[in-house]
Amino acid sequence: MTETTVMHADLDVLAERVEQAAALVQRLRDDKQRLEREHEDLSRRLRESEQKLQGQDPGTLLAELQGLRKEQREWQNERREVASRIEGLVKKLERLDA
């Protein structure tokens, strides 16, 4: 092989590597832009969530939730009692009609 042929082969290899490096740099730039947009979106969502919860103590919210659940159970129990009473009254009425 002549020196010129070797130099052209080396230049071809170098050109291919440069093209691969350029493509990699472009992909990294695209990824960076995408990640920056995602970061901005997540930061905005975090700020919105913080504003919604601002001034609300999680412990207080949990205590309130537990209170509401207790109240719900009490209402359900009372509802069952009323339903049982109504069933009893209906049975008595049916006996009277018979």
**Residue 37 shares a structural domain with residue 77:** no
Low-confidence ranges of the chain (pLDDT < 50): none
Structure tokens belonging to residue 34:
């995408």
For the entire predicted model, the pTM comes to 0.47
For residue 1, the model assigns a pLDDT of: 57
Per-residue model confidence as pLDDT tens digits over 27-39: 999 999 999 999 9
Domain that holds residue 79: 57-98
d(CA 70, CA 96): 39
Together in a domain, 20 and 64: no
> How high is the pLDDT of residue 6?
72
Domain count, the chain: 2
The chain-wide mean pLDDT, for the chain, equals 89
